[in-house]
Structure 1
């Protein structure tokens, strides 16, 4: 016949020696105790913790002990659910043997996995932020790429704004009783207008192109320029 109490006492002594700083007895009848389990530190010193509470049942270890997460730190709800599921699986696999050390070790490994996952998420978030910052800097440096679509949209908006501006200005002038300026008044008001053509010629250059072909047969003409009665205007009438 199995002496359950003896097996439980022996395991309890072993557990206390293995976890002297994290083992706490809560009650002796039934035997209930807690073990604080902490993950290894992450890259930036972050850890997750779970304090497990175990309670022996009368026929332990032929029957699994009772357990619960007594307290926790930095554990998400899903992580806590995963730990409880893990304890159930490990207990079923170790029925008939004292199993507290096995259960605690499994939870310890799970907490380390959680910290690794946190590290990976943080690293991914960091890379994503760097990527977004690089893309934002690239956009700021290059400016907005002009496409037919956004140019037409800008043009339509610009023309609408200019039309509205002209309408508003015309309305203000009408309300102020301001008459429409004549051409003369425009010249008197803006002296740049009377020099605009000159400026245009200066900007474009004063070069005048001459078609020399118009004069290429001038030497063939029978012109008696020494004749005092010579009149070029009568040349056309002689032909008649």
Structure 2
């Protein structure tokens, strides 16, 4: 007949010796205690830690002890769930033998795996941020891809802006008296002049006076327009 009490006492003595710094007795009948399990150091010396609470049942080790996570640090809820599932699996595989050391060892290895996973996630996140930064820098350096459509659109806008700027500059200089605009420049800068002369003539009508004396002697001139040497400007010089 199995002496459960004796096996439990022997295991408690061994556990207290092995986990001296992390073992705490909560009660003696039934035997209830905690063991704190800490992972190896991870990235930036971070660790994952759980405090497991065990309670012996009357027929332990033929029946599994009770367990729970008493405290935890840096352990995600999903990881804590995996730890509890691991304890269940290990307890079923070790029924009939004292198993606290086996359970704690399995949890220790699991925490180390979790730390490695955390490190991998951190490295992947770091690489993701670096990739995004490189892509943003590359995109900023390349600028907008030039196509025929957006080039023609840019060219039209550029020419319009330059024309507006040129007109504005000419107008400002003309108003300041720095330059005197040519007729062409006047028409380019002020389209109202397109119709001003026509409007003037329409308004003047028959009121325009012509000095007929200027044309009285024109018929007396012997002008041979077919002469290749004909120069109207030379007529005035001859009379002088």
- TM class, shorter-chain normalised? 0.5 to 0.7
Measured at CA, do residues 233 and 145 of structure 1 come closer, stay the same or move farther in structure 2, by a change above 3 Å?
closer
Contact 2:174/2:180, CA 8 A, preserved across alignment: no
Counterpart of 1:194 in structure 2 is 182
Q: Distance in 2 between matches of 1:148 and 1:37?
A: 67
Q: Please, which runs of 5 or more residues in structure 2 have no aligned partner?
A: 165-170, 186-223, 229-240
Measured at CA, do residues 148 and 74 of structure 1 come closer, stay the same or move farther in structure 2, by a change above 3 Å?
farther
Counterpart of 1:118 in structure 2 is 118
For the pair 1:86 / 2:86, whether they are aligned, the reply is yes
Deviations 1:138-186 (A, max 9, x none): 222222223467x39x76xx79xx9xxx9xxxxxxxxxxxxxxxxxx99
Q: Distance in 2 between matches of 1:15 and 1:32?
A: 12
Contact 1:187/1:193, CA 8 A, preserved across alignment: no
Measured at CA, do residues 131 and 3 of structure 1 come closer, stay the same or move farther in structure 2, by a change above 3 Å?
same
Q: Distance in 1 between matches of 2:143 and 2:103?
A: 59
TM-score, normalised by the number of residues in structure 1:
0.65
Contact 1:54/1:67, CA 8 A, preserved across alignment: yes
Q: Distance in 1 between matches of 2:61 and 2:173?
A: 111
Counterpart of 2:56 in structure 1 is 56
Q: Distance in 2 between matches of 1:115 and 1:24?
A: 25
Aligned ranges 1:224-235 → 2 under 5 Å: 233=226
Measured at CA, do residues 147 and 64 of structure 1 come closer, stay the same or move farther in structure 2, by a change above 3 Å?
farther
Aligned ranges 1:1-240 → 2 under 5 Å: 1-147=1-147, 151=150, 191=179, 193-194=181-182, 233=226
DSSP 3-state at the match of 1:111 = helix
- How far did 1:79 drift? 0.5
Measured at CA, do residues 10 and 188 of structure 1 come closer, stay the same or move farther in structure 2, by a change above 3 Å?
closer
DSSP 3-state at the match of 1:134 = helix
Q: Distance in 1 between matches of 2:18 and 2:172?
A: 102
Measured at CA, do residues 192 and 87 of structure 1 come closer, stay the same or move farther in structure 2, by a change above 3 Å?
farther
Between the two proteins, the alignment pairs up a number of residues equal to 176
Q: Distance in 1 between matches of 2:50 and 2:36?
A: 6
Q: Distance in 2 between matches of 1:3 and 1:144?
A: 82
Q: Distance in 2 between matches of 1:187 and 1:65?
A: 99
